[in-house]
Amino acid sequence: MTTLLQVDNLQQTFLLQQGLRKVPFEALRGVSFSLQAGRALALVGESGCGKSTTARVITRMHEPTAGRVLLHGQDVTELKSRRALKAYRKSLQMVFQDPFGSLNPTRSVRHHLTRPLRLHQPALKRRQLQQQLEALLELVELGDPGMLDKYPHQMSGGQRQRVNLARALAVEPEVLIADEPTSMLDVSIRMDMLNLFRKLKAERQLGLLYITHDIATAQYVAEDTAVMYAGQIVEYGPTASVIDHPSHDYTRLLLSSVPDPTRSFAELAAEESDFRERADRIRQQSRAAGSDYEKVAEGHYCLRQAVTQQKEALC
Ligand SMILES: Nc1ncnc2c1ncn2[C@@H]1O[C@H](COP(=O)(O)OP(=O)(O)OP(=O)(O)O)[C@@H](O)[C@H]1O
Ligand SMILES: [Mg+2]
């Protein structure tokens, strides 16, 4: 396996204004993982746990308070020159949650895709450019070349997200970060999109970081899963092992929140308040800082919980 990107003990502290005082808030507390060529890692956790902050630090939108991000072993948090940063941004691209907000409404698909192609290959002749534009559409399964002259408002959410993906792939990145790429799409097309990510990852040997709050979708895309809570990875390992044998109470909580379609509303409602109480207790306990991981199975690790607790019977 070729390691493309390593994230090593990332810390991110924000200073929040509270009245006249500035109070530190630790959004990331020692996040580490690596991405391999042709494999995906799902970074899973509920809102506010630090998923997008991790992505923003990796893409250099934020300077980390501490920790390193290494691409092919080189620390990119130290890159300063415009040239080095530009090269890094070519190697690593990102697809965001909102497919509409990421596109300029006054510009056509052709415009959105021509820019990165020209940046990446300045010597492209007109005919070659047209061929490459069409190849990009094929790649993201938007085959019809007429699509090039459409504007964002003339496309569906799924088509817009495919254009975003094509734009990211135009510079032939090695690493792709997809931050909740399907959460604003209609449920009926989410699976197609996830399958597309899976196909592209394998074909292009991408190192994919798939960010989601929905642990159930991780298994469709990602070989490995890291579960995050309150700025820490609480459990990580092969996706099947994490989902089938969750070890941290918080992972078990996340899995138990996935709706079970076979159970009636009345049944679920009866358990609701009991569930909430246990969920609050688990969240509270899972906040404790730690850096000591125990091995659960091959490649599967769990953050040692500060107090040895009776495992909550959640799933
Ligand atoms: N620039 C910032 N200044 C201060 N606090 C921030 C900043 N960016 C993020 N935070 C805080 O850091 C925490 C993590 O935010 P982040 O956006 O990483 O969460 P997330 O896991 O991506 O959540 P979601 O699933 O809702 O997108 C949140 O409490 C957020 O309010
Ligand atoms: Mg986010």
pLDDT in tens, 258-292: 666 666 666 666 666 677 788 888 888 888 888 89
Whether 243 and 218 have beta carbons less than 8 Å apart is answered as yes
Six-digit token string for 263? 């159970």
Q: Of the bound ligands, which one is closest to the alpha carbon of residue 22?
A: 1
Whether residue 103 is predicted with pLDDT greater than 80 in this model: the reply is yes
What separation in Å is there between the alpha carbon of 52 and the centre of ligand 2?
A: 4
What integer pLDDT is reported at residue 269 of this predicted model?
66
Distance CA 55, CA 69 (A): 11
What separation in Å is there between the alpha carbon of 17 and the centre of ligand 1?
A: 15
Distance CA 244, CA 199 (A): 24
- Summarize pLDDT for 107-132 with one digit per residue, the tens: 999 999 999 999 888 899 999 999 99
Domain spans, the chain: 3-15+24-303
Whether residue 205 is predicted with pLDDT greater than 60 in this model: the reply is yes
Residue 88, classified by CB atoms within 10 Å of its CB into exposed (0-12), middle (13-18) or buried (19+), is middle
Whether 63 and 16 have beta carbons less than 8 Å apart is answered as no
Contacts 24+ apart (CB under 8 A), 277-285: 278/253, 278/312, 278/314, 279/253, 281/312, 282/249, 282/250, 282/252, 282/253, 282/312, 282/314, 283/229, 283/230, 283/250, 283/253, 285/249, 285/309
- In one-letter notation, the amino acid at residue 274 is D
Best residue for ligand 1 mutational test, from 15, 51, 227 (most atoms within 8 Å of Cβ) = 51
Which amino acid residue places its CA nearest to atom 27 of ligand 1? 47
Q: Which atom of ligand 1 is nearest to the CA of 12?
A: 12
SS3 readout for 40-83: EEEEECCCCCCHHHHHHHHCCCCCCCEEEEEECCEEHHHCCCHH
**DSSP, residue by residue, 180-235:** STTTTS-HHHHHHHHHHHHHHHHHHT-EEEEEES-HHHHHHH-SEEEEEETTEEEE
Mean pLDDT on 209-216: 94
| Helix, strand or coil, per DSSP, at residue 163 | helix
Query: How many residues are listed for the chain in this entry?
Result: 315
What separation in Å is there between the alpha carbon of 215 and the centre of ligand 1?
A: 19
Which amino acid residue places its CA nearest to atom 4 of ligand 1? 14
CATH H superfamily, domain 3-15+24-303 = P-loop containing nucleotide triphosphate hydrolases (3.40.50.300)
What separation in Å is there between the alpha carbon of 231 and the centre of ligand 1?
A: 10
Mean pLDDT on 187-203: 93
Q: Of the bound ligands, which one is closest to the alpha carbon of residue 48?
A: 1
Whether residue 251 is predicted with pLDDT greater than 90 in this model: the reply is yes
Q: In the predicted model, what is the mean pLDDT of the chain? A: 91
Residues having CB closer than 6 A to ligand 1 are 14, 16, 25, 27, 45, 47-53, 213
Q: Which atom of ligand 1 is nearest to the CA of 53?
A: 18
Q: Of the bound ligands, which one is closest to the alpha carbon of residue 230?
A: 1
What integer pLDDT is reported at residue 315 of this predicted model?
41
How far from 286 is each of 116, 233, 236, 307, CA to CA, in Å? 42, 10, 15, 10
Six-digit token string for 105? 């409404």
